[in-house]
């Protein structure tokens, strides 16, 4: 508890607004598909992710379940919770837990990621003994993958498949175990250390590029804030308490209200136009953009998605999906291009 209490507050992170917003939007609707944060070292990436976890609402889980199954979401229950239900534990007992950040070790094996079935126990005792992996821990939490570009391609595929399906199925010699694996995937990479395959890039819902802050006053502020936090973490946290509560409240509200936020047809047409003009392959970008704009509207407490919500998220949706910015050789920044398309 003590360690958690002294996580650097989300709202005290200087600058990096786009990165913070991308994280918040995924917290509101994890179906956006996670976020890839590209940038050099020392740009508050992991601090922001840890700080976000503190702002997320507690969850109701099935008591005693390894995977933190949602007791009311019967469709996604793990094999064990299903067995418990069938054995008459109905309703399943509940508990609450705090959301947390699960970190994927850089050299994790596939077994470590998906978990393993103890075949010997299965044969001897006829029981399914399952050693849960990272995906089990990550269910309904944040899965943080530092330096995702340095991971084995195969492991990245496994991760992204689970993220897309929302479930992890492990099969060995006719024995199979299934559990939900819905998580907010946050990957980071330093592009100087190698690129990510384009097929994998596209599977991250959002992408933000973070840079070290060049503004003099902001740089000074970073040092000052850091110093006063290290000096008195409790006092520093208390000082930022009201701002933290504000964001926490808006995220909780957003989670509850985003499905009701209206997505007018002309907004969907605008999004389709963006995808066409930016020459994006496939339809994933349209879906992600609609979801992200809807989550942004919910965060802004709007009842309907407006053009400003689309422009507020478009760069995060398209930056990793375009081959190059259209409109000639002196390519303008993507943000400018988006503004041009939207106002055309």
65 vs 158 by CB, closer to Zn ion: 65
Distance between CA 149 and CA 141 in Å, rounded? 22
Residues 30-49 that bind Zn ion (CB under 5 A): none
**Nearest-approach distance from CB 70 to Zn ion, in angstroms:** 9
Query: What residue number has its CB nearest to Zn ion?
Result: 69
68, 179 in Cβ contact below 8 A?
no
297, 304 in Cβ contact below 8 A?
yes
- Provide the mask over 135-174, with x wherever binding to Zn ion is found by CB under 5 A and - wherever it is not: ----------------------------------------
Q: Partners of 170 in the beta sheet?
A: 177
Determine if 78 is a binding residue for Zn ion (CB under 5 A).
yes
From the list 71-79, 157-165, 316-324, 336-344, the region that binds Zn ion by CB under 5 A is 71-79
Residues 79-138 that bind Zn ion (CB under 5 A): 81
Determine if 65 is a binding residue for Zn ion (CB under 5 A).
yes
| Interacting residue with Zn ion among 21, 28, 55, 69 (CB under 5 A) | 69
**Nearest-approach distance from CB 123 to Zn ion, in angstroms:** 24
Site for Zn ion (CB under 5 A): how many residues?
Answer: 5
Residue 54 is among the residues annotated as catalytic for this protein: no
Task: Write the DSSP assignment of 216-227 as a string of letters.
Answer: HHHHHHHHHHHH
- Spatial CB neighbours of 91, under 8 Å, sequence gap ≥ 6: 71
78 vs 185 by CB, closer to Zn ion: 78
**Nearest-approach distance from CB 65 to Zn ion, in angstroms:** 3
**Nearest-approach distance from CB 183 to Zn ion, in angstroms:** 15
Please tell me which residue in 82, 112, 250, 284 is annotated as part of the active site: 284
Per-residue HEC secondary structure of 226-257 comes to: HHHHHHCHHHHHHHCHHHHHHHHHHHHHHHHH
Angle 108-317-158 from CA coordinates, rounded to 5°:
25
**Nearest-approach distance from CB 223 to Zn ion, in angstroms:** 46
Determine if 61 is a binding residue for Zn ion (CB under 5 A).
no
Residue 145 tokens, joined: 């993958």
From the list 19-27, 59-67, 105-113, 204-212, the region that binds Zn ion by CB under 5 A is 59-67
**Nearest-approach distance from CB 307 to Zn ion, in angstroms:** 42
Distance between CA 271 and CA 149 in Å, rounded? 29
Longest dimension (CA), the chain: 69
Owner of token pair 């190059």: 324
Q: Is 67 exposed, middle or buried (0-12, 13-18, 19+ CB in 10 A)?
A: buried
Residue 150 tokens, joined: 């340095």
43 vs 139 by CB, closer to Zn ion: 139
116, 170 in Cβ contact below 8 A?
yes
**Catalytic residue ranges:** 284
List residues binding Zn ion (CB under 5 A). 65, 67, 69, 78, 81
């Amino acid at each position: 508890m003590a360690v958690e209490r002294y996580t650097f507050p989300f709202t005290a992170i200087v600058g990096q607004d786009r990165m913070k917003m991308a994280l918040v939007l995924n917290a509101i609707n994890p179906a956006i598909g996670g976020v890839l944060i590209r940038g050099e070292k020392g740009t508050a990436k992991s601090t922001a992710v840890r700080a976000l976890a503190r702002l997320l609402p507690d969850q109701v889980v099935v008591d005693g379940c390894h995977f933190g199954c949602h007791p009311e979401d019967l469709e996604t229950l793990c094999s064990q919770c299903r067995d418990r239900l069938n054995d008459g534990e109905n309703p399943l007992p509940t508990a609450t837990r705090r959301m947390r950040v699960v970190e994927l070790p850089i050299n994790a094996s596939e077994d470590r990621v998906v978990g393993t079935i103890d075949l010997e126990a299965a044969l001897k005792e006829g029981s399914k003994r399952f050693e849960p992996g990272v995906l089990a821990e990550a269910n309904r939490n944040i899965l943080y993958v530092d330096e995702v570009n340095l991971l084995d391609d195969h492991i990245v595929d496994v991760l992204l498949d689970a993220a897309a399906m929302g479930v992890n199925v492990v099969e060995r010699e006719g024995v199979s175990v299934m559990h939900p694996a819905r998580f907010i995937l946050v990957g980071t990479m330093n592009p100087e250390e190698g690129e990510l395959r384009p097929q994998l890039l596209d599977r991250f819902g959002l992408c933000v590029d973070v840079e070290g802050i060049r503004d003099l006053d902001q740089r000074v502020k970073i040092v000052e804030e850091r110093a006063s936090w290290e000096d008195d973490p409790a006092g520093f946290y208390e000082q930022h308490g009201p701002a933290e509560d504000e964001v926490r409240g808006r995220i909780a509200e957003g989670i509850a209200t985003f499905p009701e936020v209206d997505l007018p047809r002309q907004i969907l047409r605008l999004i389709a136009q963006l995808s066409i003009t930016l020459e994006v392959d496939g339809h994933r970008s349209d879906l992600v953009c609609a979801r992200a704009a809807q989550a942004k509207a919910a965060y802004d407490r709007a009842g309907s998605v407006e053009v400003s919500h689309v422009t507020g998220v478009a760069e995060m949706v398209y930056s990793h999906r375009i081959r190059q910015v259209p409109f000639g050789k002196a390519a303008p920044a993507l943000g400018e291009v988006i503004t041009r398309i939207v106002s055309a």
